[in-house]
Each structure stands twice: as structure tokens, then as C-alpha cells.
Amino acid sequence: MGNSWLRSLSPSSGNGSHKLICFPHAGGSAISFGPLAECTGSEYDVLAVQYPGRQDRRHEPLVDNISDLVDGLLPELIATVEDAENFSLFGHSMGSVVAFEAGRRLEQESGATARVLFASGRRAPSSTHREQVHLLSDRELGDLLLRVGGTPSALLEDPEFRQIILSIVRNDYRAIETYRCDTDAMIRCPIVAIAGDRDPDAGFAEIEAWSAHTSGSFFAKSFPGGHFFIDSNCRPIGQLIREHSSQALLS
């Protein structure tokens, strides 16, 4: 597969009429969206971004800058959406920011506009927080991952896997914590922002601030759960994706 960036996860095997392109969280990989792909419906061709340095791209160097991630992804993304009558973007946590920047670049460089940008579990791009998670010690970072969830504790107990995981997570936190976005940065498509009602890092007021970054419509909704609320809410989130994608087609 070389250094290809996109993985097909959809049961429709590329036959869906609407492409949903998903962007993982810090430390995450394409397969994390497998359950969501099963809940979107046969009309959706679900693709997920595989960042360098993990799983089948584990021999490639990690990328610790959001702009560089988008630079690498963009040619394949442009080629993918050129063949799509309709497409939407879905990002979780760090992936929401990567999806936002990728959507902006698509609009600027190819003229392609997503039907909807779904921003999950992440405050608005221009929100400034002085976070330094990437500077934590290995022990502190491991403890944080256990508290937040999303990483099997058994993997963190294995010394070899633990070191691999911490290296990837630290890299991704460096990327998101050094990212800066102007307050007037905009995307043309509607934005749907969602969050867990017990997520301390992305409260409802913080996801509502995504409304300042679209010239289209905006909708925000919370779901039960913490930072990885999407794992236990796949079906209602799948329904939300279908509803808002359909609304965008009619507008």
C-alpha cells in the first residue's frame, strides 16, 4: 500500500454514493472508525486517514505538525473527492482540526467543498489553551491515557507496546498543541460539532465556538460520555451523519 493515506472501512466496498472521510484522534489510527463505518449505512463509502508512523505505516517517520500532515494527505484527498459526487469530513479530537484544515485546503486548491464537516470532541480551532501534554514524562503521559480512555490498559502494561504508543501520542499532542488558527479562518460547508457531556476538554460552550469558523449553517449536540463518547454512541452518531448530510444535499 506504500504511503497511501486513505483506508476503506465501509461494508459498501466503495459503492456508496456519499464518501465520508474520517480523521483520527491523537495516537489513533484509521481502524478506530470501524464501528462508525458499520453504523452509517450502505449509501456511505467510509474512508479513514492513516497517519504516518502507525500500523501499516509504522516504518514511516511521524509527522508532528498539522500543516505538514495536510500537505502530505492533500494530493490523495483531492484525487478521492474529484470522483465523488458528494463527500463529508468527520474528525475526532485532533482529527477535527486536521479535517478542518484539509477542508479549507480542498476549497482553496481544488474548489471542492464538503457537504458537512463533523467536528467531534474538540473545541474550536481558534480556541487558545496553554497545554503541554507533549512535555509530560512517560509515566505522566501513560497515566493520562488511562484516565482519558481509548487506549487498552493491557497495551500500556506491555513495555514494548507502551513505548510505541507513548511515542506516537506524544508526537500527535505536539502537533495539536503547537497548532495555531486565526479567528477568521473559515470553511464554506456547514459544521456539525459534537462532544461528550462529561468530556473536560471539550465542553458544550467550547464546541459551540466552531460556529465562528463556517460561512454555512451550524449545529451542536452533546452525547452521553467522556472524550471517547463516539465508541458508545455509534448508532445515534451514524443517524446524525445521515440526517445532516441529507439536509446539506437539499440546501
Task: Enumerate the active-site residues.
Answer: 93, 227
Dihedral class, residue 66 (left if φ above 0, else alpha if ψ from -120 to 50, else beta): alpha
Q: Is 181 helix (H, G, I), strand (E, B) or coil?
A: coil
Half-sphere exposure of 223 (CA within 13 A, CB side): 21
Phi/psi of residue 233, each to 5°? -130, 30
Helix pair angle (159-177, 94-109), 10° resolution: 50
String of DSSP letters for 66-114: HHHHHHHHHHHHHHHHHT-SEEEEEEETHHHHHHHHHHHHHHHHT----
**Cβ pair 6, 76 in contact under 8 A:** yes
Instruction: Give which of 217, 212, 210, 206 is closest to 251, Cα–Cα.
Output: 217
Distance CA 38, CA 218 (A): 26
Helix pair angle (66-82, 94-109), 10° resolution: 60
